[in-house]
């Protein structure tokens, strides 16, 4: 894993002043994610049920009827890429206040 900390100047003094971006192996990060950003930019809970896209249908599943969670769609995508010998990387972020960040920094630095 690798992380970058960014101070968001337009949000100084709020609970979203600091954004931490982390990249790494999906099997290490996916379980820690609680929300997914969809293709249209909306943010959804990872446990929200959605229809499985045609590209991710497997076996006897029926396109248009098969449901899964966003977490499940990520896992399906990762498995699909792995079956084609592609390596995958997950990029995620977390927003927090400067106070929260300072506390984490002191605890883990």
- pLDDT for residue 34 is more than 90: yes
**Residues 72, 49: contact at Cβ < 8 Å?**
no
At 13 the pLDDT is 87
Nearest by Cα to 66 from 85, 51, 87, 76: 51
Judged by phi (left if over 0) then psi (alpha if -120 to 50, else beta), residue 85 lies in left
- pLDDT for residue 109 is more than 80: no
What does the block give as tokens for 15?
């609970």
At 27 the pLDDT is 92
At 18 the pLDDT is 96
pTM for the full predicted model: 0.82
């Amino acid at each position: 894993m690798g992380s970058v900390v960014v101070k968001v100047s337009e949000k100084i003094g709020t609970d979203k002043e600091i954004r931490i971006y982390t990249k790494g192996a999906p099997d290490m990060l996916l379980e820690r994610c609680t929300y997914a950003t969809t293709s249209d930019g909306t943010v959804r809970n990872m446990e929200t049920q959605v229809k499985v896209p045609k590209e991710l249908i497997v076996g006897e599943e029926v396109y248009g009827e098969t449901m899964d969670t966003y977490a499940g769609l990520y896992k399906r995508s990762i498995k699909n890429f792995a079956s084609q010998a592609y390596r995958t990387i997950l990029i995620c972020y977390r927003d927090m206040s400067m106070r929260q960040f300072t506390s984490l920094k002191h605890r883990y630095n």
